[in-house]
Amino acid sequence: MIALEGPLTYDRVVAARAVLDGSTDEGAVVRLDLGKVTEADSAGVALLALFARSAAAAGKSVEIVNASPELRRTLDLFPFPKPDAQKAPATGKRLENLGTATVEVAELILQFMVLAADTAWFIVLGVVQRRGIRWREVLYEMSAMGSRALSVVGLIAFLVGATMALQSAQQLRTFGANIFVVDLIGISMTRELGPLMAAIVVAGRSGSAVAAEIGTMVITEEIDALKTMGLHPTRFLVVPKLLAISVTQPLLTILANVAGIFGGFLVAVLYLDVGADTFLSRLEQTLMLKDVITGLVKSVIFAQLIVSVGAISGLRTKGGADAVGRSTTTAVVAGIFAVITADAVASLVFYF
């Protein structure tokens, strides 16, 4: 016979459990005296249910004695749930997983190609038919993706340019080749770092914004609503962003070039004793228009990638608020990865 007493409530459950566990009843029927239990809540009932379960597992049964009618009523309120079914272990799924992953990648590539084709077609159609492109939206996106990124792009490029000049200064000075800092800064900023820095900043700012916007529209069924109204989501949402970023990204890149070279200029003049006139005339000699154009072409490619990756991550959103967060993360990570890969490929192509 085990006896419990007092209220069987939240704060008393741990003490009551100690009584239950401490008892050693040998018989096949465990008698539980609840005569002195004044009240019980769901925690207490849960404790009794657990006790009954463990007794049953040991081949015993529990008999409740002396419980007041009120207590019996409380015990009767709750269902006695079945224990969880054992889950079957997953085995031999490796090949299946590989197949699923392959199909997923293929789908992704297909989706990317369809998106590219759609946008190209809708832009041509919009220009030819003179309708269907939301020019106000394009302007709005240009302000969101371009002008609001001006300060951060400019600052980062300036710091990168200055840092690069500073780091190379030591080496160049050893060889008395201070003047070559102009070549270094001019060419690396315009060909590589300007476009790349601008693209990475924009991938973080706007790629995520595109994914979050479209992802939220997916889970609130706004995309379905657009389709039902006969509007193609790509035409309605992606085309304005693509047009906008195709204009703003080269402009941001030019800003990044100028800011980076200015950073290098300051370091060269103040720290490397290269005269301002010398710097500018050397820059004129070494910097080819080709370098600048190459960088700008790359920046347009990067821009397309950032918006496309953001849009696809957004469109693939499934689930709730957490899914939007995941899509946004994917958009930034995959966006930056795509930009850097494209940069590597472009460097090979333009290497002459």
Partner 1 sequence: MSKDYVHTLEVKNLIARYGERQVLSDVSMTVERGEVHVILGGSGCGKSTLLKHVIGLMKPAGGSVKLLGVDLVEADEPQRNAVLARIGMLFQGGALLNSLTIRENVALPIKERTGLPDDVIDEMVRMKLGLVSMLHAIDLTPPELSGGMKKRAALARAMATDPEILFADEPSAGLDPITAAELDALLLNLKSRFGMSLVVVTHELASIEAIADRVTMLDKGFVIASGPLQEVKKKDHPMVRAFFDRASEAESRGTSVLDALSKESRT
User: With binding defined as CB under 8 A, does residue 178 bind partner 1?
Assistant: no
Contacts of 146 (CB under 8 A, 6+ apart): 244, 245, 247, 248, 249, 251, 252
Question: Given candidates 78, 96, 107, 276, which one binds partner 1 under the rule CB under 8 A?
Answer: 78
User: With binding defined as CB under 8 A, does residue 321 bind partner 1?
Assistant: yes
User: With binding defined as CB under 8 A, does residue 322 bind partner 1?
Assistant: yes
55 vs 32: CA distance, rounded Å:
12
Of residues 323-342, which lie at the interface with partner 1 (CB under 8 A)? 323
Q: Which is nearer to partner 1, 16 or 245 (CB)?
A: 16
SS (H, E, C) 27-41: CCEEEEEEEECCCEC
Question: Given candidates 84, 91, 289, 352, which one binds partner 1 under the rule CB under 8 A?
Answer: 84
241 vs 137: CA distance, rounded Å:
8
What is the edge-to-edge ordering of all strands in the sheet holding 29-36?
2-5, 29-36, 61-65
User: With binding defined as CB under 8 A, does residue 77 bind partner 1?
Assistant: yes
Environment class of 22 (CB within 10 Å of its CB; exposed 0-12, middle 13-18, buried 19+):
exposed
User: With binding defined as CB under 8 A, does residue 38 bind partner 1?
Assistant: no
Question: Given candidates 2, 3, 20, 43, which one binds partner 1 under the rule CB under 8 A?
Answer: 43
Q: Give least dist CB 221 to partner 1, A.
A: 13
User: With binding defined as CB under 8 A, does residue 14 bind partner 1?
Assistant: yes
How many other CB atoms sit within 10 Å of the CB of residue 169? 17
Q: Which stretch binds partner 1 (CB under 8 A): 79-87, 100-108, 111-119, 280-288?
A: 79-87
Q: Give least dist CB 60 to partner 1, A.
A: 18
User: With binding defined as CB under 8 A, does residue 218 bind partner 1?
Assistant: no
Q: Give least dist CB 138 to partner 1, A.
A: 34
Encoded amino acid at 331, one letter: A
HSE at residue 151, side-chain half, CA atoms within 13 A, is 2
User: With binding defined as CB under 8 A, does residue 10 bind partner 1?
Assistant: yes
Q: How far is CA 287 from CA 23, 62, 163, 221, 270, in A?
A: 89, 91, 20, 51, 22
Q: Which stretch binds partner 1 (CB under 8 A): 10-18, 113-121, 162-170, 232-240?
A: 10-18
User: With binding defined as CB under 8 A, does residue 9 bind partner 1?
Assistant: yes
Q: Which is nearer to partner 1, 308 or 328 (CB)?
A: 328
Contacts of 257 (CB under 8 A, 6+ apart): 157, 189, 190, 194, 292, 295
Question: Given candidates 6, 18, 35, 42, which one binds partner 1 under the rule CB under 8 A?
Answer: 42
Which runs of consecutive H residues, i.e. helices, occur in 58-149? 69-77, 94-129, 135-145
Q: Which residues contact partner 1 (rule: CB under 8 A)?
A: 9-11, 13-14, 17, 41-43, 45-47, 49-50, 77-82, 84, 319-323
